[in-house]
Structure 1
């Protein structure tokens, strides 16, 4: 072989190796799919004004709207959930207690995350993951309000404990996400019939990402929800500027990036903790669209003095942007009452509820009659 040919071969091998290494690093520093949709502008934008509302409940953490009621998760040990009717905001009662008893919970469960609300036989139920016990409980909300006692049954008492995400897919299938490898990764898997199943390419793609040892594991944390109507999972990170959409049968996978470029996980770890960006704080799914609460504040500003009012960003189920709704009050959680075309927000720092009339916005988007998942 001539020296020229030899050098060409070496250069070819080097550049191919470099490209493969770069591609591999790109995959490991971005928790994304191959199909990425960049959203820099929204086709419609609305600035909406909130009206302060009073609900006679203290210690609220988050809330959800379901079945013409607002269900609030609180820090009160004897009333972990409080339910008020809509639109009059009359408190109907409280359910669930903190404790070690068979019908008690060790922590106050979120009303939306690791929780699934369903209607069965004209009654409202909640499936709740018990973080410390590794249990799935079924709460009959309607019966509990009628009797004044928590109507709770244990569905599964042998689930993995301390999961970051737990999604009920069906009666025997659960999507789990837990920290592994010395808290350098958050691994997704399907848990079925007391076995861990890992043969899902969409999950494997997201599982490849890791952080450094002793870094903040929440860099990889996501708020995750499932739409049973189209079987799509939405994963919304709290410190990255993109959201992942995918199906469990691996037929669909897309990343929606809010901005012109992806937040790089390697670079985030190089930043001072105060300089890292808190991007999203809440996720809600509806029949024809879904939405996120966009914070976009540095950790320092968010913890010490917030500067920017948040926005609610709406997308369709293919990841196309629909609208940006800019609030005039701070908020950490939101939900939409589609029957009355009202957005409700709550801010955990100020402990204030607001509501916003979005009749015009929903009408222009042609989604006013859409139901909630």
Structure 2
């Protein structure tokens, strides 16, 4: 009987590994949880006199808020030290230098000593390099460059160096039983030419006749780029897994918490999938990923968002270093490299908090 049990276990293990390799284009390593430091950490409230809402970014004394709910602009910049509004920027509309829609900020970078970010305006088919430093100084929106860019379906666009960006093409539903798989493209900024394709999955599309929920939902990630531009991290929503992509070679290495679901989910009805990672941001040393690890919450408009008080801190080698338990909800996060703080905005109250990363 013991021999039979051992034989069954041995025969099952390669099958589980094979399922991952059938779909995923990178190596998947097991996260070592033995040396992880668990720590309770208190946050600090940031008093805000202006209207802070939506998705935030932060740099030194600047809190940058993106929200479609702002009536005339997409962004509101607030002084963290005083709590006062600096101004509203990136005007909505169809006039000169106005845009119908644009993404939230996923990356801040310096160009000629000025703070910049890259915006994608799909309706106008343009990329906009927004000069935040000049905009704040002049009190009006100033774009460093506006570039024609006929390339829709970009979820993230990361600036790497002059005239090079990484465009993330998310999964898209083809029909109820088939979806494309996501991938990254390394492209030129000014001529929109493909330099290199970075496939994350083995095939360009996935079929599942048993799927009861849209297949593209399974592939949802939130991504962040290492400030030096050398790596991109993805945190997966429906697997306890982070993917680290080398932007020079395209090599993908993933790190998954053991004793959890794998890509065999793609062969099920997919009716009941837990949510694992929700959001991520990073600095040159660490990755900060907000973790749920439970059944999906009720995300209908007007329903209170539950408390997200777990943050996993990885290094760029995929080592899980900390499991932080916060006193406030950290649904989305942003790491400020100047003051070494990890910011969040409460989804229910719009209150802004941060934790001091120097304490770690």
- TM class by shorter chain equals 0.7 to 0.9
Of 290, 294, 306 in structure 1, the residue corresponding to residue 291 of structure 2 is 294
Matched ranges for 1:11-160 at <5 A? 25-29=19-23, 31=24, 33-41=26-34, 43-58=36-51, 60-74=53-67, 75-112=69-106, 116-152=107-143, 154-160=145-151
Query: Structure 1 residues 328, 283: CA separation in 2 closer, same or farther (over 3 Å shift)?
Result: same
Cα distance between partner residues in 1 of 2:357 and 2:227: 26
1:228 to partner: Cα distance: 5.3
* Structure 1: segments with no counterpart, 5+ residues: 1-17, 362-373
If each structure's helix is expressed as a fraction of its own residues, which one has the higher value?
1
Residue pair 1:32, 1:255 contacting (<8 A) in 2 also:
no
Say if 2:154 is the partner of 1:163: yes
Deviations 1:90-124 (A, max 9, x none): 32222111112231222253122xxx322233321
Q: Which residue of 2 aligns with 1:196?
A: 194
Deviations 1:323-352 (A, max 9, x none): 121112223212244554543221223322
Deviations 1:66-102 (A, max 9, x none): 1431111122032321112233333222211111223
Cα distance between partner residues in 1 of 2:15 and 2:204: 14
Residue pair 2:31, 2:319 contacting (<8 A) in 1 also:
no
Q: TM-score, normalised by structure 1?
A: 0.77
Cα distance between partner residues in 1 of 2:338 and 2:160: 27
Partner-residue secondary structure (3-state), 2:118: strand
1:39 to partner: Cα distance: 4.0
Cα distance between partner residues in 1 of 2:80 and 2:335: 12
Cα distance between partner residues in 1 of 2:125 and 2:61: 31
- Higher Rg of the two aligned structures: 1
Cα distance between partner residues in 1 of 2:37 and 2:13: 40
Partner-residue secondary structure (3-state), 1:218: helix
Say if 2:246 is the partner of 1:255: no
Q: Which residue of 1 aligns with 2:8?
A: none
Cα distance between partner residues in 2 of 1:256 and 1:350: 34
Cα distance between partner residues in 2 of 1:343 and 1:180: 32
Cα distance between partner residues in 2 of 1:27 and 1:132: 38
Larger CA deviation: 157-166 vs 286-295: 157-166
* Structure 2: segments with no counterpart, 5+ residues: 1-11
Cα distance between partner residues in 2 of 1:224 and 1:206: 20
1:318 to partner: Cα distance: 0.9
Query: Structure 1 residues 251, 266: CA separation in 2 closer, same or farther (over 3 Å shift)?
Result: closer
Deviations 1:150-203 (A, max 9, x none): 112554213311223322333333323144572602342333443335555xx2
Deviations 1:289-313 (A, max 9, x none): 1211113332235666666542121
- Kindly tell me the number of residue pairs found equivalent between the two proteins: 336
Partner-residue secondary structure (3-state), 2:359: helix
Deviations 1:112-159 (A, max 9, x none): 2xxx32223332122111233332101111221222221125542133
